[in-house]
Amino acid sequence: VQRNSFVTWNKDTGELLHNFISWQDLRCAAMCRKMNGKAIMKTIRGAAKGVHAVTRNERFKSASNFAFTTPQVTMRLKWALENIPEVGKLCAKKRLQWAGVDTYLVWRLTGRTVVATELSMISSTGLYDPFEMGWNDTVLKMTGIPTHIFPEIRDTADDFGVCDAALVGRAIPINAVVGDQQSGLFGQCCFRKGDCKLTMGTGSFIDVNTGSKPHGSFAGLYPLVAWKIGKDVTYMAEAQGSSSGTVIEWGKQIGLYQDVRETEAMARAVDDSNDLFFTPAFSGLQVPYFDPKARGSFIGITYNTSREHMVRALLESLAFRVKQMYEIILVDYGRTNGALRCDGGITNSGFVMDLVALYTQQRIDRPKVMEMTALGAAYLAGLTAGVWASLEEIASTRETSHVWECEEYTAWHKIQYKKWKEAMRRCLNFDTAKDYDPVTQS
């Protein structure tokens, strides 16, 4: 299930109060900047850094890099409470219900009888502390967000009620709920500590299984609950890039090509991008920049720039961004196990994946079954229902469809990557508007 998009409704009537507010919505960007600039934030980060230096506690390591960001639920929810009148009024009366996509779907599928979420979803919001496995009291006090608006939290593989037969034709039990990236990690059978997967869909995500403990990060990797099965909790660290598939779709919209399947041939039609670089920042940038004001751009256009050069620069930017995120994983977390397991629509592009293998210097393994979000949820539900007896049995079902081997990473490749990073630096802090009204808002 897509994480961090949310809706609210009246607990008494079930009436929805607004459309879903997407994880890419930037209307709270100004609030994030204001909150992050407060003295209390600097105090929290400084104190956490000092405590970590003495105790080496991973929770304080993570807190030393604490900041509010637009993809997290926190500030978008605060924005809704302050800017949508009925939301604020019902919250004050304790009649407001908040729901992520998962909670909304369970509520509707069960005939509006079950209002529940689970740990992989709620730990992604920024409101929940995965180190303490409870609400983040500091964040809630700073933002004034009450816990009475949130749904019950259950395990990932758990009883979420039964589908209303009037809706789906029969009473089907709901045995698991899980966030999309966590589901992808499970679907890729990344069950061991250090197993890592790359998803290249609407956005790009690199997730690494960190075992039975959350990973604190100086670099801004998100420590999240991957899943909870029975008493066992598995955690993961995540690096996130907001724009990937959207970059490909944008190229089509502006007429660079008529069909996305044309992009590979167009990119291979030229030897290189002629020093043209694209910055994939349609809705700001996450790790390591955390800049909602960054914007997409072409840098290096000359009279000789062709459509093929532009397409190649678009595709190269996706591989460069994966390299940047994977470098952070390696430096901040450490070496991962074996091949990088990939999924998502962009992995159908051999050109992009050749570059990803080259720039990460990792073997890239694409499975035969590509719908990892659905597969991971099915595996989890199957465990609950007894279809599979163990993780080992599930792992035995995974099959590989293609492996990309890494070619030599030369001095020329190093220079190209360095130039792209300079282009990224120049796109930062570009949108100086005080208020945001992006087309992505819901």
- The whole-number pLDDT of residue 165 equals 94
User: Please, which residues bridge with residue 423 across strands?
Assistant: none
Please report which confidence band the pLDDT of residue 440 belongs to, taking 50, 70 and 90 as the band edges: very low
- The whole-number pLDDT of residue 436 equals 44
pTM of the model: 0.92
Report pLDDT digits (tens) over 384-429.
999 999 999 999 999 999 999 999 999 999 999 999 999 999 999 9
Please report which confidence band the pLDDT of residue 441 belongs to, taking 50, 70 and 90 as the band edges: very low
- The whole-number pLDDT of residue 433 equals 65
What is the mean predicted confidence (pLDDT) over 268-296? 94
The two tokens of residue 261 are: 């399947």
The two tokens of residue 240 are: 């996130």
Report pLDDT digits (tens) over 328-353.
999 999 999 999 999 999 999 999 99
The two tokens of residue 55 are: 């105790």
Please report which confidence band the pLDDT of residue 380 belongs to, taking 50, 70 and 90 as the band edges: very high
- The whole-number pLDDT of residue 20 equals 97
- The whole-number pLDDT of residue 155 equals 97
- The whole-number pLDDT of residue 292 equals 86
Report pLDDT digits (tens) over 216-275.
998 889 999 999 999 999 999 999 987 899 999 999 999 999 999 999 999 999 999 999
Q: Please check whether residue 407 is in contact with residue 357, taking contact to mean a CB–CB distance below 8 angstroms.
A: yes
Q: Work out the angle between the directed axes of helices 29-36 and 73-83 (0-180°, nearest 10).
A: 110
Report pLDDT digits (tens) over 106-152.
999 999 999 999 999 999 999 999 999 999 999 999 999 999 999 99
Residue type at 123 in one-letter notation: S
pLDDT at 437 over 70: no
Please report which confidence band the pLDDT of residue 174 belongs to, taking 50, 70 and 90 as the band edges: very high
Report pLDDT digits (tens) over 181-224.
999 999 999 999 999 999 999 889 999 999 999 999 988 899 99
Report pLDDT digits (tens) over 16-44.
999 999 998 989 999 999 999 999 999 99
Mean pLDDT of the chain: 94
